[in-house]
């Protein structure tokens, strides 16, 4: 707050004095507050008041209290600490540590406005730090050693706080799960704005979720930090849901050519459509990012320098909402699928018969959308490459993966290999899980792997081609690279705006 500004009028709420409102969402109103102690002691906190209509919902309150008690067990330097849980005159609330700084969503909007892309090392550092925090929460057990099965369910830029010194804090554990137990449509429409874009495909399908949902959501955050582009954003919520369910994704280097294959490979695996094809834990994500962060000089000091370059961030009144008017160019995003070796652009909206049952399950993605507004952000030098207005043609594998033979036995297992054959433009370089393995055309044996593997094919002047495939079966693929389209002269519209 500027020194010349008058202090906000305080409102008494139990033992807290509520100062200015920092944000509001479909579930709560957020205030900066003061808690007083003896001998003039004061501490600034954040009070998140659950909306009165939700406080009157016994089912919600029961789940909210259970989840909040779990969240109070989280003690990690990158997770906002819950200090108090209570009720004042029938209104339930959480009191949490106050974190000076700005949410990552505002930072990305500001960087986009200034056309200052985030250094790749800084983007990977942010993702690695949040991955470590998530891994800690996922692994938490009770006193008897039983897993608590904590899943965030709402990892998004608005729930990541960046401090002026380059620190990071993750907000709002457990709130989304409490929202998931509500089924009335009025609450649904109030809690989903701006959140659908960060769901996993299984969330969009109303399926049970686990820690791999957080891996996918963090992959979206990393992609957007690297490219300053929204990954899943349609003309309306239904279109966005379709994009999420299909999970077709271009590698970040197709938007920002200075990114290397290692970064593309990590993002590809985090954003695999099926949970089985992703990293199986956030620990794996952090380990995969660690050497990249080190090589690209990503750390708190680098993030702090980037914030200083960007200058003061003007906070906007609301976080970006999926329901508000998006850029027209986003209607046909440049996306490709990463499953079964097939890569396709998103097409016209599919059949809508699935929408209502999915919509009924959407509340799984609810959350409070931490929008604590203070300042500090960044500026950058070069504008990110502009999106091509023309979507790519359909890419498909030459042949489907060979099915296993019923009578075939592996004997001995150590002697078995699989064959990887890739056709395509002569001389294009092939990367397997981020490492170069040769140039096209390619026909090479590989050791079988029990998990999905990621391919990336690059050639100067062409859009990259990428796919994931079953690491235990022979693969015969056709990498149909297409010449990179000329840059559009259309003015870039704000992908993080309203």
Q: Which residue has the higher pLDDT, 143 or 212?
A: 212
Residues 136 and 284 in one domain: yes
Residues 218 and 356 in one domain: yes
Please tell me what DSSP assigns to residue 273.
S
Indicate if 89 belongs to the active site. Answer: no
Residues 217 and 327 in one domain: yes
pLDDT at 462: 80
Residues 195 and 296 in one domain: yes
| Tens of pLDDT, residues 89-145 | 988 998 999 999 999 999 999 999 999 999 999 999 999 999 999 999 999 988 888
Which one of the listed residues 100, 143, 154, 411 is annotated catalytic?
Answer: 154
Query: Is 396 among the domain residues?
Result: no
Residues 172 and 281 in one domain: yes
**What are residue 375's phi and psi, to 5 degrees?**
-125, 170
Domain end, chosen from 76, 97, 118, is at 97
pLDDT at 142: 85
CATH at residue 280: 1.10.510.10
Query: Is 486 among the domain residues?
Result: no
Q: pLDDT category, 177, cuts 50, 70, 90?
A: low
DSSP codes of every residue in 440-479: SSEEEEE---SSEEEEEEE-TTB--EEEEEETTS-EEEE-
Give the helix/strand (H/E) hosting 78. Answer: none
Domain of residue 31 covers 11-97
| Tens of pLDDT, residues 286-344 | 999 999 999 999 999 999 999 999 998 854 433 333 333 233 333 333 333 333 222 23
For the chain, the average pLDDT equals: 76
Query: Is 283 among the domain residues?
Result: yes
CB atoms within 10 A of CB 406: 5
pLDDT at 367: 39
Residue pair 461/428 in contact (Cβ under 8 Å)? The answer is no
**What is the share, in percent, of the chain residues with pLDDT greater than 90?**
40
DSSP codes of every residue in 141-192: B-TTS-B-----S---GGGEEE-TTS-EEE--TTHHHHHTT---HHHHHHH-
Q: pLDDT category, 404, cuts 50, 70, 90?
A: very low
- Report the pLDDT averaged over residues 208-215: 94
Judged against a pLDDT cut of 90, whether residue 168 lies above it is answered with yes
Domain end, chosen from 53, 73, 97, is at 97
pLDDT at 110: 95
Residues 26 and 139 in one domain: no
Residues 154 and 213 in one domain: yes
Judged against a pLDDT cut of 50, whether residue 273 lies above it is answered with yes
What is the distance between the alpha carbons of residues 256 and 234, in angstroms, rounded to a whole number? 21
CA 22 vs CA 332, 370, 372: distances in Å: 35, 9, 5
Judged against a pLDDT cut of 80, whether residue 374 lies above it is answered with no
- The count of structural domains within the chain is 3
**What are residue 126's phi and psi, to 5 degrees?**
-60, -50
Residues 85 and 142 in one domain: no
Domain end, chosen from 48, 67, 97, is at 97
Residue pair 362/306 in contact (Cβ under 8 Å)? The answer is no
Residues 311 and 435 in one domain: no
Query: Is 108 among the domain residues?
Result: yes
Residues 436 and 327 in one domain: no
CATH at residue 461: 2.60.40
What is the distance between the alpha carbons of residues 86 and 261, in angstroms, rounded to a whole number? 49
Query: Is 483 among the domain residues?
Result: no
Residue pair 198/192 in contact (Cβ under 8 Å)? The answer is no
CATH at residue 67: 3.30.200.20
Q: pLDDT category, 432, cuts 50, 70, 90?
A: confident
- Report the pLDDT averaged over residues 164-170: 95
Residues 43 and 152 in one domain: no
């Amino acid at each position: 707050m500027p020194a010349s500004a008058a202090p906000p009028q305080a409102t008494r709420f139990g033992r807290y004095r509520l100062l200015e409102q920092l944000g509001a969402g479909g579930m709560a109103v957020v205030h900066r507050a003061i808690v007083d102690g003896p001998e003039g002691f004061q501490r600034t906190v954040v009070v998140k008041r659950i909306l009165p209509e939700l406080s009157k919902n016994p089912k919600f309150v029961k789940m909210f209290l259970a989840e909040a008690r779990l969240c109070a067990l989280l003690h990690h330097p990158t997770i906002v600490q819950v200090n108090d849980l209570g009720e004042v005159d029938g209104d339930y609330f959480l009191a949490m540590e106050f974190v000076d700084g700005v949410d990552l969503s505002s930072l990305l909007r500001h960087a986009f406005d200034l056309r200052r892309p985030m250094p790749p090392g800084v983007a990977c550092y942010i993702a690695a730090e949040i991955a470590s925090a998530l891994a800690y929460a996922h692994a938490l057990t009770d006193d008897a050693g039983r897993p608590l099965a904590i899943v965030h369910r709402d990892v998004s830029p608005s729930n990541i706080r960046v401090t002026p010194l380059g620190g990071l804090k993750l907000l709002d554990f457990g709130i989304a799960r409490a929202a998931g137990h509500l089924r009335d449509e009025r609450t649904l429409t109030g809690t989903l704005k701006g959140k659908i874009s960060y769901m996993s495909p299984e969330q969009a399908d109303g399926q049970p979720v686990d820690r791999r949902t957080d891996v996918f959501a963090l992959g979206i955050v990393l992609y957007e930090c690297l490219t300053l582009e929204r990954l899943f954003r349609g003309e309306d919520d239904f279109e966005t849901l379709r994009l999420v369910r299909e999970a077709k994704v271009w590698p970040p280097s197709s938007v920002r050519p200075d990114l290397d294959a290692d970064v593309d490979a990590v993002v590809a695996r985090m954003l695999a459509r099926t949970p089985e094809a992703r990293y199986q834990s956030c620990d794996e994500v952090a380990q995969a990012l660690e050497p990249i962060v080190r090589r690209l000089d990503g750390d708190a000091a680098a993030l702090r320098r980037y914030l200083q370059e960007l200058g003061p961030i003007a906070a906007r009144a609301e976080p970006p909402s999926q329901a508000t008017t998006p850029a027209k160019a986003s209607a046909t995003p440049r996306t490709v699928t990463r499953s079964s070796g097939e890569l396709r652009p998103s097409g016209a909206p599919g059949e809508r018969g699935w929408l209502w049952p999915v919509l009924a399950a959407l509340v799984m993605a609810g959350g409070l959308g931490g929008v604590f507004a203070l300042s500090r952000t960044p500026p950058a030098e070069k504008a990110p490459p502009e999106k091509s207005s023309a979507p790519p043609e359909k890419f498909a594998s030459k042949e489907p993966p060979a099915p296993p033979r019923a009578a075939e036995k592996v004997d001995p297992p150590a002697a078995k290999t699989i064959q990887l054959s890739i056709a395509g433009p002569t001389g294009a370089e092939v990367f397997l899980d981020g490492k170069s393995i040769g140039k096209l055309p390619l026909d090479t044996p590989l050791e079988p792997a029990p998990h999905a593997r990621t391919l990336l094919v690059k050639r100067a002047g062409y859009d990259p081609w990428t796919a994931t495939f079953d690491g235990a079966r022979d693969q015969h693929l056709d990498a149909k690279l297409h010449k990179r389209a000329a840059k559009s002269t259309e003015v870039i519209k704000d992908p993080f705006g309203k």
